[in-house]
Chain A
Amino acid sequence: QSALTQPPSASGSPGQSVTISCTGTSSDVGAYTYVSWYQYHPGKAPKLMIYEVSERPSGVPDRFSGSKSGNTASLTVSGLQAEDEADYYCSSYAGGNTLVFGGGTKLTVL
């Protein structure tokens, strides 16, 4: 299975919104609603931010939202804050009991 495609980097100023895309195929992102997004600070455990395309775990600010259209899923961070600066990864169920991740996007808060 091939990795999902994410832009290597994204940026925005405090208070702005930024959207990170995650493009797969009709065999993974396009086929299932099991898309997740993770926030990763190097040296720490990845943190689940969005699951099942658009669901937010308890404790995750509602500034984080997810969506999907066709083979592309998106994570939007609204009202950017300095603490949002991190790497973000998407993942999707890919059929055959496998999971595939995106290559990761480094979000910079300017």
Chain B
Amino acid sequence: EVQLVESGGGLVQPGGSLRLSCAASGFTFSSYWMNWVRQAPGKGLEWVGKIKQDGSEKYYVESVKGRFTISRDNAKNSLYVQMNSLSAEDTAVYYCARGGVTRYKGPDYWGQGTLVTVSS
């Protein structure tokens, strides 16, 4: 059974940093693109970014470029996102979601999410 479990969310001050983690199990982690997707309160889903199987390619939504960095450790079956210079607009539930074997496929399995609140 595919499982994705996010952790690391919490309350952070504006301008601060936070690192989210996602532990994957039930599939060959190193064979899939992986995504981060977020949902701000009362808003829809927003794709944040994705990383290739070997970590050699990373892509982001414009609003987080230069502030967020996605990484992965295939030996630990783990996905990460380092979030810097956080603002209130980054307040959201962050989901880890498995992509496809190819770069084109959308997410199929999702975690339950972890809440990030940016507030003073």
Name A residues whose Cβ lies closer than 8 Å to a Cβ of B.
1, 3, 32, 34-36, 38, 40, 43-48, 51-52, 57, 89, 91-93, 96-104
Contacts and interface: CB of A to CB of B under 8 A. Distances in A.
B111 interface: yes
A96 B60 CA distance: 10
A98 B44 contact: no
Contact of A101 (B46, B50, B108): B46
A104 B95 contact: no
A101 B104 contact: no
Interface of B: 4, 35, 37, 44-47, 50, 57, 59, 61-62, 95, 97, 103-113
A93 B106 contact: yes
30 contacts: A3-B46, A34-B104, A35-B106, A36-B107, A38-B45, A44-B112, A45-B4, A45-B95, A45-B109, A45-B111, A46-B95, A47-B110, A52-B105, A57-B108, A89-B44, A89-B45, A91-B106, A93-B106, A97-B50, A98-B47, A99-B35, A99-B50, A99-B106, A99-B107, A101-B37, A101-B44, A101-B45, A101-B46, A101-B47, A102-B44
